[in-house]
Structure 1
Amino acid sequence: MAHDPEALRDLLGPEAALCHRAITGEQGVSLPPLTDHHVHLHLIDERALAAGGIAGVVDLGGDPVALARRGDDGIPRVAYAGAFLTAVGGYPVGRAWAPPEIAREIADPSTHPGVPDGAATAVDEQASFGASVIKASLNSTAGPVLDRGTLAAIVEVARERRLPVVAHAEGDGMPQLALDAGVDVLAHTPFTEFVGRAFTAHAVKAGQVWISTLSIHGDDPGAAEFARVNLAGFAAAGGRVLYGTDLGNGDQRVGVNPDEVAALDRAGIRGAALVAAMADPWPFTDPPPGVCTFVPGAPPSGLEEIADWLRGATVVPTEELIHDDH
């Protein structure tokens, strides 16, 4: 049924198309270029991303100097937060995977530029190195967290710079702290508690966006269930969901992660909604230019086949593909 162009678009979204590669003749399906909205480039071999179907990434915690030096050309297209902004001694300070360059400890809630260890100083530093977003750490399970005043200062200054704020919110009450402060995006679907309908409705009304990262909880069934139920409720209430894997956290496939796709499907984000979460260009407004994600072979015939089918995804130049459904 999905071999019919209309059925294919119903299954995978309006930009899905039957096509073939001009040089090799290989047949398959083209999708809009896919983005992983939560990665850590310093922990992976990014050269495998495009071959695995990912055309864009959002680095949510890295050395701002190194990220700025990489330039902004090529695939994958990279947006980044630069360093984690955290409390003194807060997460991820001291973690084996986190070199000192990727964290900034904030000791002063000042919104004035240039104050040593100040909130504005930290935000301005990331912005000066080309950050597209600002990352705040709120992990009460791993040390002290930013207090309300300091978090509010980060959000205020970032908003003045027209930069969205992403929060790692982990631990009881941390999602609520982020929501109350006006944080724009949660780096992970809440996974340490059920957030409930009232919280979800408030988050949706506020326009908050959630990055999925469901598959990182494979060894923690409790966290996996919290995340699944929370994301299902958020999506059902109209919340905007972004596909993200926290790539670099544990042993994950570089490229489209079928485990994450399957977990999103179990949370009710299926078919066209799933592709939309993967193809959302956030924090950019336009997709990575000149490329699309191509999946060779026969298209899936139903929702239950999509996760495994996407294992074959790769990124190709748009001009290389000839559509067969016109």
Structure 2
Amino acid sequence: MPHADLSALHELLGPDARPCRRAVTGERGTALPAFTDHHVHTHLIDEAPLSRHGIAAVVDLGGDPIALARRPGGGFPAVAYAGAFLTAPGGYPVGRSWAPPETTHEITNISLDAGVPGGVATAIDEQHTCGASVIKVALNFSSGPVFDLETLQAIVASAHARGLPVVAHVEGEGMLRRALDAGVDALAHTPFSEWADPASIARARAMGQRWISTLSIHDGPDRERATINLTTFAAAGGRVLYGTDLGNGDRASGIQPDELASLDSAGVRGPALVAALADPWPLREAPHGVASFVAGEAPGSVDEVPAWLAGATVVPTEELIHDDHR
């Protein structure tokens, strides 16, 4: 590929985009880093189509920690997980039909001593022992009790002591600020039930907080708030991750075109959109040995990128012959 064309490809899709062809089929296209959906619930979805439709890895943000620990390794999609939702007694999502009892852990004691029933450290140790890569907390003030700031700070401190980031489901007035005050590392959803004020957005960006998008699960005012909040956060330099809350609603497994289009409309465009898909968080590295491949001609403009990315599939990197190295 001529240098000028390669430069144009990188301008549209980022420096890791590479023209290539598949050795077995001869099909030409573009290779990109492996894509991750940063918010799914594997017990509610059919995982089989994910890799065929562009998703090489997922982050399960709420499931049975023992069942997740027993998953066979080595296949695709690769799965990182939080284990159970940590929640206040009677808090979200306790009692929800989609959340079996094994998927929630109610914290009743702020203790940081190991083995204390209902204690903070006990809950963190349970998820950590089961192989969790991140801790999930519920801050859904709209649907029941939530952690006070002291308990939430203890959870964050205990998780960080074990090298685990904390992601929060934030819903209800004041919950974004509580997550910021406690040092929560990521939001499972772009704030959708409250407006993110400029000071909160500046704090979130300064502390390196990541916001998982999940724009397309909303309708009406919630979607408008989430879109504007994410637009402002992204424009301020905030770190955005592609995530869909797959399992919430009846949607096919794989890349969600509506989520890509929603991110694009929020200003997460071109290379930034690819980066939101390709970030391996909460892991340090993306899955080895695979890439996300889009067949056919590369997009001609940034406006074409979201629909084009929706055609991705996951292929072994050893199958790809890079045209720029011929």
Q: TM-score, normalised by structure 1?
A: 0.97
Unaligned runs of 5+ in 2: none
Report runs of 4+ in structure 1 exceeding 3 Å deviation: none
Q: Which residue of 2 aligns with 1:198?
A: 199
Aligned length: 324
Q: Which amino acid aligns with 1:325?
A: D
Kindly report which structure 2 residues correspond to 1:177-196, keeping only aligned pairs within 5 A, or say none: 177-196=178-197
Distance 2:150 2:109 in 1: 10
After the TM superposition, which residues 129-144 of structure 1 pair with which residues of structure 2 at under 5 Å, given as runs? 129-144=130-145
What secondary structure, in the 3-state scheme, does the structure 1 residue paired with 2:137 have?
strand
Name the SS for the 1:4 alignment partner: helix
State how far apart, in whole Å, the 1-side matches of 2:158 and 2:242 are. 27
Q: Which residue of 1 aligns with 2:252?
A: 253
Structure 1 distance, partners of 2:214, 2:19, is 29
Structure 1 residues 261-272: aligned runs within 5 Å: 261-272=260-271
RMSD: 1.4
Which SS does the other structure have where 1:113 is aligned? coil
Supply the distance in 1 between the matched residues of 2:273 and 2:67 (Cα, whole angstroms): 32
1:19 matched residue in structure 2: 20
The reply on whether 1:43 has 2:44 as its aligned counterpart is yes
Q: How big is each residue's C-alpha offset from its partner over 1:60-89, in whole Å with a ceiling of 9 and x where there is no partner?
A: 000000100003322111110000000111
- CA drift of 1:93 comes to 0.5
Identical aligned residues as a percent: 64
- Using the TM superposition, give the Cα deviation of residue 112 of structure 1 relative to its aligned residue in structure 2, in angstroms: 1.0
In structure 2, distance between residues paired with 1:95 and 1:302: 44
Corresponding position of 2:296: 297
Superposed counterparts of 1:66-77, under 5 Å: 66-77=67-78
SS of match in other structure, 2:167 = strand
Tell me the TM-score normalized by structure 2.
0.97
The CA distance in 1 between the partners of 2:36 and 2:108, in whole Å, is 34
- Describe the superposition over 1:120-173 as per-residue Cα deviations: whole angstroms up to 9, x where unpaired: 111110001000000000001111111112111111110110100000000100
Residue in structure 2 matched with residue 61 of structure 1 by the alignment: 62
> In 2, Cα distance between the equivalents of 1:139 and 1:73?
35
1:50 Cα offset (Å): 0.4
Task: State the AA in 1 paired with 2:21.
Answer: H
Letter of the aligned partner of 2:88 in structure 1? A
TM-aligned CA deviation for residue 310 of structure 1: 2.0
CA contact (8 A) 1:60 1:81 kept: yes
Secondary structure of 1:57 counterpart: strand
Q: Partner of 2:79 in structure 1?
A: 78
In the superposition, relative to structure 1, how do residues 133 and 275 fare at CA in structure 2: closer, same or farther (>3 Å)? same
For 2:127, give the aligned amino acid. Answer: Q
1:310 counterpart residue number? 309
Query: What amino acid sits opposite 1:188 in the alignment?
Result: H
Whole-Å Cα distance in 2 between the matches of residues 300 and 100 of structure 1?
Answer: 46
